[in-house]
Amino acid sequence: MRFLRRLLAVLTPLLLTLAVAGCGADTAAPETVVIAGGVDGGVYARYAVALSQALSASAGRRVHVRVLSTAGSVDNLHRLATGEASFAICAADAVVDARQSMPPSTDYQAVARLYDDYIHLVVKASAPIHSLADLRGRRVAVGGPTSGTALVARRILAAAGQSGQSTESELGLSEAMDALERGDVDAVFWSGGLPTERVAADAKNAPLRLIPLGDAVPDLRSMYGSVYRPGRIPAETYTGVDAVDTVAFPDLLMTTARTPDRTVHEVVAALFAHPEVIGTVPTGQLLNPSEAIFTEPVPLHAAALDYFREEKIATQ
């Protein structure tokens, strides 16, 4: 009996310690991952939600994922810089611009190349606008004030010698398309994947046209670098809308150097582990690990590179 009492005296503190440790493990707060998406009705917003669902499916309760509604690429990069977001979807041209203008302490790094953006210049089918030159004196929605759309729209206008020749309105996609429908603007710039849900919905309700922008590519490349390339929006991408040549460039999943390697690895793994989720976004069906690794001129995060090496996508 005395032996049992001594044994209990020795074991009880140990058992209590193990119990407390076990409770702590069970109740540990999940890691919060914040993904900056984009404007409502845009592809960024839908892609960010799909990525959040894929990460939740992979990580379970260990991770709590939130998606931010934002104005787009420039806004997203600001949120990465301030730490408000840990991951963000951004246009490559906006990333290159930010890396040149932000302090070195803001070390933007890519996680994966997701898909390509195509510049839309949307008008009503009946509008007397058939080229960039026809925007002179017109009212043009160029994108939200902290959006990648506004960045590239103004670059296109500058490359075409049209800067200051029209009245610009800084409107996000939904506001801009509403304004086009009301007749408050004559044309809408939009940078997005194919198809963009809001443009597709509006094209079904009223005849629309896309203005060709392909002629702007050489000047854009000369002025701003090789991130821009010729692109083509195929016929019937939007109901009743003919094919058009335009400007295209990559969209990247971005983070910063301060994001833990383990988190980056888990996010990029989730991106490819759940094609049934990512593929619910049309542009998500284009995700290809053999292309996702090419994020130049933006450096790839070391943990993302490790993932691609593990999957035999990269050997260097």
**Domains identified in the chain and CATH numbers:** 30-115+251-310 (3.40.190.10), 117-249 (3.40.190.10)
Please give the structure tokens belonging to residue 258: 């301060």
Average pLDDT over residues 233-254: 97
Percent over 70 (pLDDT), the chain: 89
Residue 15 — pLDDT band, cuts 50, 70, 90? very low
**Using an 8 Å Cβ cutoff, are 229 and 217 in contact?**
yes
Q: Is the model more confident about 102 or about 255?
A: 255
Please give the structure tokens belonging to residue 304: 């993302």
**Using an 8 Å Cβ cutoff, are 35 and 65 in contact?**
yes
Average pLDDT, the chain: 89
Please give the structure tokens belonging to residue 197: 């849900």
Q: What DSSP string runs through the chain?
A: -HHHHHHHHHHHHHHHHHHHHHHHHHHPPPEEEEEE--STTSHHHHHHHHHHHHHHHHHGGGEEEEEE--S-HHHHHHHHHHTS-SEEEEEHHHHHHHHHHS-TTS-EEEEEEEEEEEEEEEEETTSS--SGGGGTTSEEE---TTSHHHHHHHHHHHHTT-TTSSEEE---HHHHHHHHHHTS-SEEEEEE-SS-HHHHHHHHHS-EEE---GGGHHHHHHHH-TT-EEEEE-TTSSTT---EEEEEEEEEEEEETTS-HHHHHHHHHHHHH-HHHHTTSGGGGG--HHHHT--TTSPBPHHHHHHHHHTTS---
Check pLDDT > 50 for residue 236. yes
Check pLDDT > 70 for residue 82. yes
Check pLDDT > 70 for residue 24. no
Average pLDDT over residues 198-219: 96
Instruction: Give the angle subtended at the CA of 84 by the CAs of 82 and 88, to the nearest 5°.
Output: 100
Q: What is the pLDDT of residue 100?
A: 84
Q: What is the pLDDT of residue 29?
A: 79
Q: What does pTM read for this prediction? A: 0.82
Check pLDDT > 90 for residue 273. yes
Q: Is the model more confident about 197 or about 129?
A: 129
Check pLDDT > 50 for residue 80. yes
Q: What is the pLDDT of residue 41?
A: 72
Q: Which of 10-14, 38-42, 124-128 is predicted most confidently?
A: 124-128
The answer to which of 11-25, 189-203, 257-271 has the lowest mean pLDDT is 11-25
Residue 9 — pLDDT band, cuts 50, 70, 90? very low
**Using an 8 Å Cβ cutoff, are 130 and 186 in contact?**
no
Residue 23 — pLDDT band, cuts 50, 70, 90? very low
271 vs 255: CA distance, rounded Å: 14
Q: What is the pLDDT of residue 102?
A: 73
